[in-house]
Amino acid sequence: MKSLFILAGATLAALGVLVALPMIFVALQAVFPHLAEGSLQNPFGAWSATLANTATLTLVGGTLKLGLGVAAVSAAIGIPLGALRGLFKVPLARLWDALFLVPFLLPPYIAALSWTMALQPRGYLEQVAGFNLGPLLFSPAGVTLAMGLAIFPVVYFAVSRSMAATGARMADVARVFGAGPWRAFLRVTLPLALPAIAASLLLAFTLAIEEYGVPAALGSQAGVAVLTTAIERRLADWPIDLPGAALLSLVLVALALTAYAIQRAVLAGRGFETTTGKPAPLAPGKLGAWRLPVALLFGAVALIAVAAPLASMLAAAFTRHVSAGLSPSNLTLANFAALFDARGEAWEALSTSLALATGTALLAGAVGLLAAWCVAGRHVPGAAVIDGLALLPAALPGVVVGVGLILAWNQPFWPATPYGTWGILLLSYTCLLLPYPVRYVSAALSQIGANLEAAARVHGASAARALRRIVLPLVLPGLAAAMLMVFAVASRELVTSLLLAPAGVQTVSIYVWRQFEQGSVGEGMAMAAVAVAVSLTLMLAATLLRRRQTA
Amino acid sequence: MTYAPSSKLLATLFMTLTFGLASGQAKALTVYTAGPGGLIKQLAAGFHEKTGIKVDVFQATTGKVMARLEAEAANPRADILISASWDTAQDLDQRGWLMPYESPNAAQVPARFKAPTYVAQGISALGIVWNTQSGTPEPRDWADLTGPQFKQVVTMPDPALSGASLDLLLGLQNAQGDAAWKLFETLRDNGMTISGPNAQALTPVLQGAKAAVFGAVDYVSYASVEKGESIKVIFPSSGTAIAPRPMMILKTARQADEARKFIDYVLSEDGQRAVADAWLMPARQDVAAKRPLFKDLALLPETSVSSASRADVLTRFGRVFGQH
Question: What pLDDT tens digit does each residue of chain A (551 aa) get?
Answer: 677 788 889 999 999 999 999 999 999 988 888 777 667 777 777 777 777 777 888 999 999 999 999 999 999 999 999 999 988 889 998 899 989 988 878 888 899 999 999 999 999 999 999 999 988 998 999 999 999 999 999 999 999 888 887 766 777 778 788 887 788 888 888 888 888 899 899 999 999 999 999 998 888 788 889 999 999 988 888 778 888 889 999 999 999 999 888 888 887 765 544 444 444 555 677 888 888 999 999 999 999 999 999 999 999 999 988 888 888 888 888 889 888 776 678 888 999 999 999 999 999 999 999 999 888 866 677 788 898 899 899 888 999 999 899 989 988 888 889 998 999 999 999 999 999 999 888 888 877 777 787 888 888 888 888 888 888 888 888 888 889 889 988 998 999 999 999 998 999 999 998 888 887 889 899 999 998 898 888 777 777 776 665 54
Instruction: Give the pLDDT score at A71.
Output: 97
- In terms of CA atoms, which chain A residue is nearest residue B208? A122
Peptide bond into A239 cis (omega under 30): yes
Give CA separation, B92 vs B66, B69, B81, B226, B302, in Å: 10, 10, 10, 36, 19
Position A433: which residue type? Answer: L
Best A238, A410, A417, A515 residue to mutate vs chain B (most B CBs within 10 Å):
A238
The Cα–Cα gap between B164 and B158 comes to 10
Q: Which residue, among A76, A225, A56, has the nearest Cα to A151 in the 3D structure?
A: A76
| Residue A186 DSSP code | I
Note whether B72 contacts A410, CB cutoff 8 Å: yes
Burial of residue A47 (CB within 10 Å: 0-12, 13-18, 19+) is middle
The Cα–Cα gap between B223 and B42 comes to 15
Structure confidence by residue, pLDDT tens digits, B244-295: 999 999 999 999 999 999 999 999 999 999 999 999 999 999 999 989 898 8
Burial of residue A212 (CB within 10 Å: 0-12, 13-18, 19+) is buried
Note whether B59 contacts A514, CB cutoff 8 Å: yes
* DSSP β-ladder status, B55-60 and B29-34: parallel
3-state secondary structure of B253: coil
Position A156: which residue type? Answer: Y
Q: How many CB pairs under 8 A join A and B?
A: 199
CB of A165 within 8 A of CB of A275? yes
The minimum CA-CA distance between B146 and chain A, rounded to whole Å, is 19
* DSSP β-ladder status, B29-34 and B80-82: parallel
Structure confidence by residue, pLDDT tens digits, B116-168: 999 999 999 999 999 999 999 999 999 999 999 999 999 999 888 788 888 89
Note whether B196 contacts A240, CB cutoff 8 Å: no
Work out the angle between the directed axes of helices B37-51 and B256-266 (0-180°, nearest 10): 110
For the beta carbon of residue A170, count every other beta carbon within 10 angstroms. 16
The CA angle A86-A267-A255, to the nearest 5 degrees, is: 110
Of B31, B67, B194, the CB nearest to A236: B67
> How much is the ipTM here?
0.83
Instruction: Give the pLDDT score at B65.
Output: 92
- pTM passes above 0.90: no
Note whether A517 contacts B72, CB cutoff 8 Å: no
The Cα–Cα gap between A219 and A62 comes to 10
Residue burial A179-191, b: 16+ Cβ < 10 Å; e: rest: beeeebbeebbbe
User: What single string gives the DSSP state of each residue in A460-478?
Assistant: T--HHHHIIIIIHHHHHHH
The CA angle B118-B88-A520, to the nearest 5 degrees, is: 100
Instruction: Give the pLDDT score at A537.
Output: 84
Q: Which residue, among A50, A51, A46, A49, has the nearest Cα to A31 in the 3D structure?
A: A46
The Cα–Cα gap between B178 and B160 comes to 20
Rg (CA), chain B: 22
Q: Which residues of B touch A116 (CB under 8 A)?
A: 204
Of A55, A410, A411, the CB nearest to B324: A55
Q: Which residues of B touch A221 (CB under 8 A)?
A: 193, 195
The CA angle A337-A338-A339, to the nearest 5 degrees, is: 90
